[in-house]
Every structure is written in structure tokens, then in C-alpha cells.
């Protein structure tokens, strides 16, 4: 299998603190491909190439997920809760600026009750007074 992998060759424009981790991820994926395809010998390069492409595509998808946030003031403290617009099912604008909302906090998360009764789950990324 190829061993001259670099972060730039697999994920251009993304910094990677440890090339070894990236190499290991591609190696593991290539092994999975080998197993899934019936352990056909002599396809190391093809399996490795496919693994690199899959890892690259997954990383691109992760980068393209838009992250959005909602800010809620509780007892004079503003909490910034980040959520994934792709999975939250929340439409920005459901809350009007200054509207009272029901909020609960749990282990670094903020849950904001939406007008439809469902909760918007966010990850608290910042607080300020």
C-alpha cells in the first residue's frame, strides 16, 4: 500500500495536527474495503485510493455543514448555543428578539423550547455578561 500520504494530498486546505492519525484512518478504511470486497488480492492500490477518496469526501461534508447559533439572555448572562442547521429542524426567526423563552441547561448544552413545543438542542460555545 502507498505510504507517502500527507494531509494535503487527502484533505487539501485542512490542517491536521498528526499525519499518523490520518494515515491510520486511510489504512483502516482500505482494510474495510478489502474485507467488504471479498478479500480480493492484488487490489491494494485501488483499495487505498478508494479509502483516500472516501475520507476526503467525508471531511468535505463535515466542513460544509453550516453551524448556526442562538443567543439567549438568562439572569443578565448571554448564552450562545450553536446547533447544526442541517439536523436541528429549526427555522431561524422562530424566536423574535426579546421574546421570552423557556430554557434548560444540562452538561454544556442549552435546550430552548420552541413555539411548536419542541426543543432546540444547542451546544454552549460562549457566555458573556
Q: Per-residue pLDDT tens for 51-92?
A: 999 988 887 776 666 668 888 999 999 999 988 776 667 777
Domains of the chain by residue range: 7-64, 67-128
| Of the candidates 40, 30, 37, 109, the residue with the CA atom closest to the CA atom of residue 72 | 109
pLDDT at 60: 76
Measured in whole angstroms, the distance separating CA 47 from the mean position of its chain's CA atoms is 25
Considering just the CA atoms, what is the radius of gyration of the chain in Å?
Answer: 21
- Which has more pLDDT, 60 or 20? 60
pLDDT at 8: 46
Amino acid at each position: 500500500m502507498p505510504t507517502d500520504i500527507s494531509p494535503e494530498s487527502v484533505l487539501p486546505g485542512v490542517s491536521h495536527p498528526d499525519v499518523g492519525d490520518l494515515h491510520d484512518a486511510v489504512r483502516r478504511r482500505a482494510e474495510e474495503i478489502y474485507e467488504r470486497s471479498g478479500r480480493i488480492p492484488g487490489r491494494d492500490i485501488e483499495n487505498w485510493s478508494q479509502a483516500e477518496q472516501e475520507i476526503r469526501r467525508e471531511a468535505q461534508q463535515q466542513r460544509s455543514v453550516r453551524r448556526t447559533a442562538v443567543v439567549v439572555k438568562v439572569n443578565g448572562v448571554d448564552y450562545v448555543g450553536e446547533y447544526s442547521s442541517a439536523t436541528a429542524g429549526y427555522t431561524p426567526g422562530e424566536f423574535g428578539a426579546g421574546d421570552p423563552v423557556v430554557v434548560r441547561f444540562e452538561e454544556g448544552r442549552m435546550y430552548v423550547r420552541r413555539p411548536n413545543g419542541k426543543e432546540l438542542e444547542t451546544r454552549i460555545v460562549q457566555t458573556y455578561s
